[in-house]
Chain A
Amino acid sequence: DARVTQTPRHKVTEMGQEVTMRCQPILGHNTVFWYRQTMMQGLELLAYFRNRAPLDDSGMPKDRFSAEMPDATLATLKIQPSEPRDSAVYFCASGSGDRASGTDTQYFGPGTRLTVL
């Protein structure tokens, strides 16, 4: 049963510290998405990749957030420096995207619950 995995599941840190969240997409999936979920804003798309290339990161605060895919099995989302307003659940999703048809189904990981004090 293939699943998206994320680590860590929970992270508590202090303001100003660097936070790195990791995601392992489902093997064979070529698209990876990062979302942030808060009570106030709901689900927000932060960034997404196709075939490891970043396609859109317009939803991400550029000054402190960065997203990368060092290889096909690992996606990272980094916050440096972290701030209390970054407290949220961060979800990674992967999909087998077909841009020509627009058909794609995203499968979500369990999320990283981040608390910045």
Chain B
Amino acid sequence: AQSVSQHNHHVILSEAASLELGCNYSYGGTVNLFWYVQYPGQHLQLLLKYFSGDPLVKGIKGFEAEFIKSKFSFNLRKPSVQWSDTAEYFCAVNSKAAGNKLTFGGGTRVLVKP
């Protein structure tokens, strides 16, 4: 069975600081990886995804993530955050064996102080 861990539950940082959110998954086969963002009171929006190819994936709003297969990780990064990046971030994985079922991590709440 696949599972996803997001080790940081809460992150507080100031505007212009760099952000890195950790995501580790457990599954031995081929996986597809996703990061979603949920702004306060809103639905989940896709930030970026990795299916294959270049392990460094660029998404919307200046976010990027790097797939490191040997570490089973897919960490999310942004070099300089803005107040508007305050949100909850979810890492998710699906795999061929699991069909199209997404398994989500527990989420990381990010608060960016102006």
Chain A interface residues toward B at CB < 8 A: 31, 33, 42-43, 45, 48, 50, 55-56, 91, 93, 95, 97, 99-111
Contacts and interface: CB of A to CB of B under 8 A. Distances in A.
SS class, residues of chain B in contact with chain A: loop
B32 interface: yes
Contacts, number: 58
A91 B32 contact: no
B101 A101 contact: no
Contacts of A55: 99
Contacts of B101: 45, 48, 56
Interface in B50-67: 51
9 shortest interchain CB distances as A-B pairs: A102-B96, A97-B100, A104-B100, A108-B44, A108-B43, A43-B104, A110-B43, A103-B51, A111-B43
Interface in B22-41: 30, 32, 34, 36
Interface of B: 30, 32, 34, 36, 42-46, 49, 51, 90, 94-102, 104, 106-107
SS class, residues of chain A in contact with chain B: strand
